[in-house]
Structure 1
């Protein structure tokens, strides 16, 4: 069953790239009207099937970060078989991303679509991007507006997708601290990494390539009830994997995430843990086919709080990092309790970075 139609928000603006109409097609060939590109090699004609990819970005009041990201996307190395387009959805009613996108049209070598989504919310903006992409692209690649990809990021995601016949490919996110971070704090921004090809149970939109055909098989796209709470991406990809779609890891397809000073503190780590716990309860109760019973959720929250409290004794031999991990577990459990009481914590109401 195809997902319900995505609301078509705001007027779209399209630019075809400043230096050339499309860097992966010969002059005179329209990317929007062909799927097979004929190349002559000596006396032979070889048909190369174009893979249409839309890089989707949801942006809210981060013009500097968006400009930095578009600069990185302009440096991507893709083969002649990739028809690449960039889709930016501006979630700010004041359209703070418009000027950045219009300026980028003068130098970007890839087509760019700019669209506004005035309903505030991360899933609202992501669904708007999919509303642009699903009618054209074979794959969508999601990346955040505080990140920059490696030059071979997209090529590597596509390579791993082909090798493992994956429906989605997820890659690593490496932190870059905009201000010096305390040494004990830095490891808390490291994320797990896996061997290339390892199958995963979920993915996140900070670095992922997804088949549009697989997305179209879902009963809905990003859950807009999770507007500013976060977790809409993990919720979607849990449903995605539950439906039998394959998610694999690509360890050589990294993006850099720029971490602002406002996140380099214990309070933010605990707020993030609280938010993750809060959002996980919503997913457990509303977004899964077989939801746990309420007493099971209460028991899990109690266990997290008790375990995290007991871990405070590890400060004696593990120092501040060990105690902080315990406090994160307490915050996670408290967030789950708050979710059970009906409280929704909107972490993303505040913007970090610019």
Structure 2
């Protein structure tokens, strides 16, 4: 009796995007070879496509998606915010086995998608997180370079983590659907939606594991390679950290404790940062002064989050979307 062939593994690559048509076009071209070669790379039949989730009210990504091949689907999500875009991507991927998030300003490297799938196929964790490395448009200024703010931690293959960012992330759709966890649209333009989402999954006992050989490059523009942007980002991370802890609390008392902890830890971080900054002055270490200053802003953000203040990290202006001709 002939064995019935295994059903193809259904893969959706989700790309939330906002007013980056040129970057999106480059990303779509880069992703296609990964999908085409996936079956051979993982040794199993696959069926994959790209889902573009356009968060621009002017639908600037629509002509870019339309210019792609038939494996590109387009969804318009008018509610502002990265949380809404990620939630829409997940809800439009419920017919897939896995959904893989990649940001519109990133580019996948060799075996990016194959490595995510390989780690997932080993023992089917709910989430697999890959590495993000930085590529600079211009040389960072001395303060940013000394602080090494764009370097990310490396973890061995299969390492379990409690939370993860969504710039290079695979989700097991069935496990996520059964958990009932969604990206919290209430976070609006403030960020932290990926940390809250993945933290909520691990609180239910689901696993997140590391895939260090799955790499995407974050293309960092010149506008971010300065002290002002780094400090704003650290403040935003601080507010998001406390906000996530408050939202994860299951009772009013738990939320009060989370706010109090945010104030205590934020204040402690600022005090520690002051001491490290003085040590940096005494030793003429720009690196110590830079990291201490960034820690102080992160501590201030934690306190701000505790009293309900949010930094709109993804705030928008009224500038119309650029119109890009796609060949």
Q: Say whether the fold is shared (TM-score over 0.5).
A: yes
1:308 aligns with 2:298: no
Equivalent residue, structure 1, for 2:144 = 185
The answer to whether the 8 A contact 1:164-1:197 is kept is: no
Instruction: Output the CA distance in 1 between the equivalents of 2:306 and 2:120.
Output: 39
1:63 aligned to 9, 18, 21, which one?
Answer: 21
Structure with the largest fraction of helix: 2
Equivalent residue, structure 1, for 2:315 = 349
1:125 aligned to 85, 94, 115, which one?
Answer: 85
Equivalent residue, structure 1, for 2:131 = 172
The gaps in structure 2 that reach 5 residues or longer are: 323-327
Of stretches 76-85 and 180-189 in structure 1, the one that deviates more from structure 2 is 180-189
The gaps in structure 1 that reach 5 residues or longer are: 1-42
User: How much does 1:165 deviate?
Assistant: 2.8
Equivalent residue, structure 1, for 2:158 = 197
Of stretches 161-170 and 323-332 in structure 1, the one that deviates more from structure 2 is 161-170
1:282 aligns with 2:243: yes
Equivalent residue, structure 2, for 1:10 = none
User: How much does 1:79 deviate?
Assistant: 0.9
Instruction: Output the CA distance in 1 between the equivalents of 2:177 and 2:276.
Output: 44
Equivalent residue, structure 2, for 1:31 = none
Q: Cα 1:184–1:163, aligned 2, differ >3 Å: closer, same or farther?
A: farther
Equivalent residue, structure 2, for 1:115 = 75
Of stretches 151-160 and 140-149 in structure 1, the one that deviates more from structure 2 is 151-160
Instruction: Output the CA distance in 1 between the equivalents of 2:217 and 2:26.
Output: 11
User: How much does 1:183 deviate?
Assistant: 5.7
SS of 2:39 mapped into structure 1: coil
Matches within 5 A, 1:207-286: 207-286=168-247
1:151-189 C-alpha deviation (Å, 9 max, x unpaired): 411111111111233221101001011112236534210
1:85 aligns with 2:45: no
1:337 aligned to 303, 308, 311, which one?
Answer: 303
Give the number of equivalent residue pairs.
Answer: 305
Of stretches 279-288 and 202-211 in structure 1, the one that deviates more from structure 2 is 279-288
User: How much does 1:44 deviate?
Assistant: 7.2
RMSD: 2.0
Instruction: Output the CA distance in 2 between the equivalents of 1:294 and 1:330.
Output: 18
Instruction: Output the CA distance in 2 between the equivalents of 1:48 and 1:220.
Output: 29
The answer to whether the 8 A contact 2:157-2:210 is kept is: yes
Equivalent residue, structure 1, for 2:33 = 75
